[in-house]
Amino acid sequence: MRRKMSLLVAVFVAAMCLGQSSGFQKLDEWTEVWKEGQQTYFGYPCNQNSALREFYEWYLGSGMYGVNLNNAGDPMNGQPWKMSSSTFEREVIEYFAPLYGFEKDQVWGIVTHSGTDGNNHGIYFGANYLYNKTGKMPVVYVSDEAHYSNMRLCDLQNLDLKLIKSDAMGRMIPEELEKALDTSRPALMVYAMGSTFKGAIDDQEALNAVLDKHPEVMVYRHVDAALFGGYLPFTVHKDMVSHKKMRFDAIAISGHKFFGIDSPSGLFLCTKETYDNQDNFQVTYLNGNMKMINCSRDAVQPLKFWWMIQKVGFEQWSKQANQMMECTAYLKAQLDKIGWPCWRNEYSNTVFFKRPSKEICDEYVLALGYDERFGGDLAHVVVMQHVTKEKIDKFIAALKNAK
Ligand SMILES: Cc1ncc(COP(=O)(O)O)c(C=O)c1O
């Protein structure tokens, strides 16, 4: 049995090195397209340097590939059932809690299906919290540059939403929030920590100062930190994603962005106070109180997170985060050097610039934007771990040639 397993692992490893055929021509052709595309993947925030090879070797070699686990239930509160990875999920949340400024005994969290799933919980938990505290449904305030999932989720949850104007660089304007604030109802703030196109960070302190002028308004703060929440805890700017420093109640982060989980996943963390003020659903067949939205939840993604904590960990993530900041500054400097109009928000790994030709946009999988204040057609590069200085040099050369 053991020999058979070793053989299987050897075949798997050899296949990965040699580029194994699937036996399906169409799939093999697409595999080549994807592997080639990965080399110049500049426009979207997926870390293409995934550190999961050994995980897959273990997954196959241990026979786990044939075991169907399910994390239905609450990983933080209750007895994890045997056929789940909830014990590991809880350890993941406890590892990340202090990085986002939460005390271990005052945090609740889950590994989510994505950043959107985390925002869904942030908005749902925030609305329930405010309703249970005040007897009134809140108004949600989001900047007009925030990710569309927040608007979609307010629609889905039938919540009143006020879109607040942002400045040219994409940050919610505090004076506009002040003008729009409905002081007769609680406020559910969604702060963008890295707006999707311009990489803007809402100025939490300035916006909180506006809210502090109205003590009669009960406030709940959810931070949508899908991308920036991955790398900021590992930089000198870590206070921006600290619950303790910034007073937010909940935060959502994507797992497939900075952390390089190879399919959609994420983290959602909130205060225990938030959790304690949710509606109860005692579910007998799951032997617990189900406060979260989803029933079945992925059991493999928490294992991948847990694996990365052991194998990559704080030091490597800090190195990667700082390399990303350095390469972002390098990209901006190189664009400036060739006179290509470009802009970057502080603390951001996103540089947006005048849109180049369609050929270059296609080759580098650039994400597109439009803003007349910056001359109209725009594109952006998100400097993730795989966007190195060498690759940036090639990209700049391509722009220069096209010029
Ligand atoms: C700011 C922001 N929030 C939320 C999301 C959605 O995250 P996900 O794709 O993990 O659902 C994104 C995606 O790019 C984003 O940029």
Q: Please check the confidence at residue 1 and state whether its pLDDT lies above 70.
A: no
| CA 118-227-57 angle, 5° bins | 85
- Nearest partner of 110 among 79, 147, 83, 85, judged by Cα: 85
Task: Give the pLDDT confidence of 19-62 residue by residue, as tens digits.
Answer: 799 999 999 999 999 999 999 999 999 999 988 999 999 999 99
Instruction: Output phi, psi for 45, to 5 deg.
Output: -85, 55
Give the residue from 89, 82, 88 showing the smallest Cα distance to 292: 89
d(CA 142, CA 145): 8
Ligand 1 centroid to 213 CA: how many Å? 31
**C-alpha 392 – ligand 1 centre gap (Å):** 24
Has residue 78 got a pLDDT over 70? no
Average pLDDT over residues 100-105: 95
Tell me the sheet residues that pair with 369: 378
Contact between 346 and 384 (Cβ < 8 Å): no
* pLDDT tens profile 193-208: 999 999 999 999 999 9
Identify the residue whose tokens are 């005994």: 105
Q: How far is the CA of 305 from the centre of ligand 1 (A)?
A: 18
Q: Which amino acid is at 249?
A: D
Pocket test for ligand 1, best of 227, 294, 301 (most atoms within 8 A of CB): 227
Is 227's C-beta closer than 6 angstroms to any atom of ligand 1?
yes
Q: Is the CB of 170 under 6 A from ligand 1?
A: no
Q: How far is the CA of 55 from the centre of ligand 1 (A)?
A: 25
pLDDT digits (tens, 9 = 90+) for 294-347: 999 999 999 999 999 999 999 999 999 999 999 999 999 999 999 999 999 999
Domain ranges of the chain: 1-30, 86-311
Model confidence, pTM: 0.94
Give the pLDDT confidence score for residue 87 in this predicted structure: 96
Report the atom number in ligand 1 closest to the C-alpha of 195. 1
CB distance 116 to ligand 1 below 6 Å: yes
What is the rounded CA–CA span in Å between residue 126 and residue 308?
Answer: 30
CATH architecture of 86-311: 3-Layer(aba) Sandwich (3.40)
Residue tagged 């970057």 (tokens): 344
Q: Compute the mean pLDDT over every residue in the chain, rounded to the nearest whole number.
A: 94
Element (H, E) at 352: strand 350-354
DSSP string of 107-137? EEEEEESSHHHHHHHHHHHHHHHHHHHHSSP
Q: Which residues contact 152 (CB under 8 A, 6 or more apart)?
A: none
Integer Rg of the chain from CA: 22
